[in-house]
Structure 1
Amino acid sequence: MKRQNISSGAVWEDIVGYSRAVRIGNLVEVAGTTATEGEEIVGKGDAYEQTKYTLQKIEEALIQAGATLQDVIRTRIFVTDISQWEAVGRAHGEFFRSIKPASTMVEVKALIHPDLLVEIEATAVMGGL
């Protein structure tokens, strides 16, 4: 099967050796995504805004891979403060309320930058298995 790497253009992709998303066949895996635009953090101090922005970036990567949010079967949400779960969950629900992918939210000690509150991964299967 052909492999398609989707780049976000982030400088870290070449340094670390990763892609924003990878499609093989009808499977798309979206890497851990945060609320960054270049070197700027979007929604600084606001878990809800960071989650919304992150999910918009994930949706863009899916579209580049030929998929949509409707194809998402799993999300993994990493938060630095689990007490913010309702804000994060509300934003996730705005994108996935009718889709209802399997999802996990866990608290982690830190993300790559101290102002990042949320990181999300997604798995999509286009057209079913």
Structure 2
Amino acid sequence: MSDRINVPSGGTFEATVGYSRAVRVGDQIWVAGTTAELPDGTAVGGDDIGAQAREALRRIVAALAEVGAGPEHVVRTRMFVTDIGRWSEVGDAHGEVFADARPAATMVEVKALITQALMVEIEVDAVVHDGR
């Protein structure tokens, strides 16, 4: 597919699992579940779920930028948290990035993420109408 752009994550599982951080085809962009994981299995922000969410969102915004998009193009977000009781900390981070775009958003509690250190994973879908 000539108009497909893959953005690598740089993560250790990328080649093994066979995924990209983001994929753009035409005017649509999908950003895979993104966390604050560091190469040693720990997380940016330690046990601060808000800090983890901000790092995941920083990585998402960077991936969007690589394919010519920004937070204003995001139409849907999905947030997976290991403790729904801390939803407001993740919600605050989400609001800092998407207050103007106000995408459709879902937040659900999950039993666990890929490593114990991770408390939040976020994915987004975006649409850019730029003539591509």
TM-score normalised per structure 1: 0.95
% identical equivalent positions: 52
Amino acid at match of 1:113: T
Partner of 1:50: 52
CA offsets per residue over residues 35-74 of structure 1, 9 Å max, x none?
A: 0233341011111000001000000000011111110000
Within a 5 Å distance, the mapping from 1:1-129 to structure 2 comes to 2-39=3-40, 40-127=42-129
> Runs ≥4 in structure 1, deviation > 6 angstroms?
none
Q: Which piece of structure 1 moves more, 73-82 or 90-99?
A: 90-99
Amino acid at match of 1:11: T
Aligned alpha-carbon RMSD (Å): 1.2
Following superposition, the deviation at residue 28 of structure 1 comes to 0.4
- 2 CA distance for matches of 1:38 and 1:28? 26
- 1 CA distance for matches of 2:89 and 2:7? 29
For residue 73 of structure 1, give the secondary structure of its aligned residue in structure 2. strand
Q: Which runs of 5+ in 1 are unaligned?
A: none
- Aligned residue pairs total 128
Amino acid at match of 1:114: Q
TM-score normalised per structure 2: 0.93
Following superposition, the deviation at residue 9 of structure 1 comes to 1.5
